[in-house]
């Protein structure tokens, strides 16, 4: 049910990316970011700001799903590093970013929200984008038991 507090929330009004898995309490989406193929979000269904707003079992579920997504992103995308972030400064709706990072990406080693350091090669980006169908499939398989 939409309330006054979440009627303007982007993550309440839209999926926040391409839906890959929809559970009762959360969803996993693939973010459309040309510089970061494989960038996923784990988004809690209800409008809450902080993970401590959840009860203990829901916190454990959120973290488990985030770790499952991280593992699949690592396995499929083969990044140099994974960045995990839960900021919510612009969208106060509980969600985690799972971002594959590479030494040649646009911001490495700085955060993806920092000033751009370089333009990634089109070949590198294409090679990463070609892995997205497998990433979608593997996340769906990994989370199939999560209802």
Q: Give the pLDDT score at 7.
A: 66
Which pLDDT score, from 0 to 100, does residue 39 have?
98
Rg of the chain taking only CA atoms, in angstroms: 15
Report which of 136, 141, 134 is spatially closest to residue 30, judged by C-alpha positions: 136
Residue 122 maps to a domain: yes
| 1 in a structural domain | no
Q: Is residue 4 part of a domain?
A: no
Cβ(96)–Cβ(85) under 8 Å?
Answer: yes
| Residue 3 included in any domain | no
Q: Assess if residue 56 is contained within a domain.
A: yes
Q: What is the pLDDT of residue 3?
A: 40
Task: Return the CATH number at 71.
Answer: 3.30.428.10
**Into how many domains does the chain fold?**
1
pLDDT at 10: 84
- ∠ CA 125-111-12, nearest 5°, is 85
Q: Is residue 28 part of a domain?
A: yes
Say what the pLDDT of residue 14 is. Answer: 82
- Mean pLDDT of residues grouped by 10 in the chain (147 residues)? 58 89 96 96 93 96 97 98 90 92 96 93 96 98 94
pLDDT at 89: 80
- Print the domain residue range for 134: 10-142
What whole-number distance in Å separates Cα of residue 42 and Cα of residue 76? Answer: 17
């Amino acid at each position: 049910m939409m309330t006054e507090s979440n009627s303007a929330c982007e993550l309440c009004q839209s999926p926040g990316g391409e839906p890959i898995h929809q559970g009762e309490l959360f969803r996993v989406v693939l973010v459309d970011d040309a510089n970061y193929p494989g960038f996923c979000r784990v988004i809690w269904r209800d409008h809450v700001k902080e993970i401590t707003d959840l009860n203990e079992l829901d916190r454990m579920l959120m973290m488990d799903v985030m770790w499952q997504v991280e593992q699949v992103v690592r396995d499929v995308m083969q990044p140099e590093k994974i960045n995990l972030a839960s900021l919510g400064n612009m969208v106060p709706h509980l969600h985690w970013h799972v971002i594959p990072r590479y030494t040649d990406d646009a911001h490495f080693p700085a955060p993806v929200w920092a000033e751009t350091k370089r333009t990634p090669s089109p070949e590198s980006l294409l090679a990463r984008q070609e892995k997205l169908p497998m990433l979608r499939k593997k996340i769906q398989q990994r989370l199939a038991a999560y209802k």
